Amino acid sequence: MKKRLSKLKSPADCRYPLKQITKAVVPAAGLGTRFLPATKAQPKEMLPIYDKPAIQYVIEEAVAAGIRDILVVTGRGKQAIENHFDRSIELEENLKSQGKRIALQTVREISDMVNLHYVRQKEARGLGHAVLCAKSFVGNEPFAVFLGDDIIDHPRPAIMQLMKIWEKYQAPVLAVEEIPRARTKAYGIIKPEVISNRLYKVLDLIEKPSSSQAPSRLGIVGRYLLTPDIFGFLEKTRPGTSGEIQLTDALRRLNRCHPVYAWQFEGRRHDIGNKLEFVKATLAYALKDKSAREPLLNYLRDITSS
């Protein structure tokens, strides 16, 4: 009886066939405890950044990049997200009867912009587990991951910037940003090898290292392009000390199979995971509204001069 000898995969064996990225995953199952009591009865993702709920900015970025199907990973009490992107016939009829055509067009565009799908993360087991919940939806295709706490403002969507790297290298791509060394404990940090301006090959990844252990100041932020083989690594990743399965840990193992790249994106990131940055983001988007800009600036001058 002949024995078959298994061969170790080389990086070339792990290259993924070039495909257009048309699917995205948006984890949105968090409890939003840092925003209590505002999030006691409504999802954090539905808190408004000026005139839109926070999650809509992320969905619009995905749509602008050509993504056609989006899976939102939700949890208990997140029905408001589904309702927002669904048709509201009663509201539409009311707006129509009052001749409010612009408002009617706005609400219809929200429900028509993309194919949205939903799955529940039944346990709060971390970002890695939330992504793993998308395994059936993704199938055998590359896909994008958007974290709702990061809103990135730039004429060229951040995820589209990552797609350009994917097209060239056919490998996972992470969005990174240079952060203060004192903040490395809050990020996954990469050990980079410079390829060109803003582009790096990832030599290693470390989840939330201390400032003395961080291999760089390049922190991973909320945009990823991943290949479906990440699911196999996520299934084998053990929970950390917090009991959560970390996506960074699975990416570290994936990186041993084939190259992972990082792109220092162009644009301004608003980290709306804390109250101060949430207010800053609201002001930034309000100031982009020409009708609100001058009155708002006058108000800010008034309250800051007293």
Residue 16 lies in a domain: no
Which residue do the tokens 């009829």 mark?
A: 93
Question: CA neighbours within 13 Å on the CB side: how many for 207?
Answer: 17
* pLDDT at 16 exceeding the cut of 80: no
Mean pLDDT of the chain: 89
Residue 208 lies in a domain: yes
Query: Per the structure block, which two tokens stand in for 290?
Result: 């020409």
Sign of the Cα torsion 12, 13, 15, 18 reads positive
* pLDDT at 120 exceeding the cut of 80: yes
Region 269-276: mean pLDDT is: 91
Region 168-195: mean pLDDT is: 94
Q: What is the pLDDT of residues 122-180, one digit of tens each?
A: 887 889 999 999 999 999 999 999 999 999 999 999 999 999 999 999 999 999 999 99
Query: Per the structure block, which two tokens stand in for 120?
Result: 């529940």
Residue 7 lies in a domain: no
How many Cβ atoms sit within 10 Å of the Cβ of residue 225?
23
Lowest mean pLDDT among 120-124, 143-147, 224-228, 285-289: 120-124
How many Cβ atoms sit within 10 Å of the Cβ of residue 60?
17
Band (12; pLDDT cuts 50, 70, 90): very low
Instruction: Report pLDDT for 195.
Output: 95
Report the domain count for the chain. Answer: 1
- The 10 Å CB-count burial string (b at 16+, else e) for 7-36 is eeeeeeeeebeeeebbbbbbbbbbebeebe
Query: Per the structure block, which two tokens stand in for 6?
Result: 């298994």
* pLDDT at 227 exceeding the cut of 70: yes
Band (18; pLDDT cuts 50, 70, 90): low
Residue 296 lies in a domain: yes
Residue 27 lies in a domain: yes
Residue 40 lies in a domain: yes
Indicate the residue type of 112. D
Indicate the residue type of 4. R
* pLDDT at 31 exceeding the cut of 70: yes
Residues pairing with 263 in the sheet: 175, 199
Which pTM does this prediction carry?
0.88
How many Cβ atoms sit within 10 Å of the Cβ of residue 204?
14
* pLDDT at 71 exceeding the cut of 70: yes
Residue 282 lies in a domain: yes
Instruction: Report pLDDT for 111.
Output: 87
Sign of the Cα torsion 197, 173, 165, 115 reads negative
* Domain CATH code at residue 80: 3.90.550.10
**3 state DSSP class of 276:** helix
In 3D space, the residue among 276, 252, 254, 267 whose CA is nearest the CA of residue 222 turns out to be: 267
Band (288; pLDDT cuts 50, 70, 90): very high
Query: Per the structure block, which two tokens stand in for 30?
Result: 């968090």
Which residue do the tokens 């990131």 mark?
A: 269
Question: CA neighbours within 13 Å on the CB side: how many for 39?
Answer: 20
69-74/23-27 β-pairing: parallel
Instruction: Write out the residue range of the structural domain in which residue 103 sits.
Output: 23-305
Band (241; pLDDT cuts 50, 70, 90): low
Instruction: Report pLDDT for 3.
Output: 37
Distances (CA, A) of 24 to 153, 211, 259: 19, 32, 21
Distance of CA 35 to the CA centre of its chain: 19
Share of the chain above pLDDT 70, in %: 93
Region 94-105: mean pLDDT is: 92
Residue 6 lies in a domain: no
Q: Can you spell out the DSSP letters for 123-178?
A: S---HHHHHHTTHHHHTTS-EEEE-TTEEEE-SS-HHHHHHHHHHHH-S-EEEEEE
* pLDDT at 207 exceeding the cut of 90: no
The more confident residue out of 243 and 116 is 116
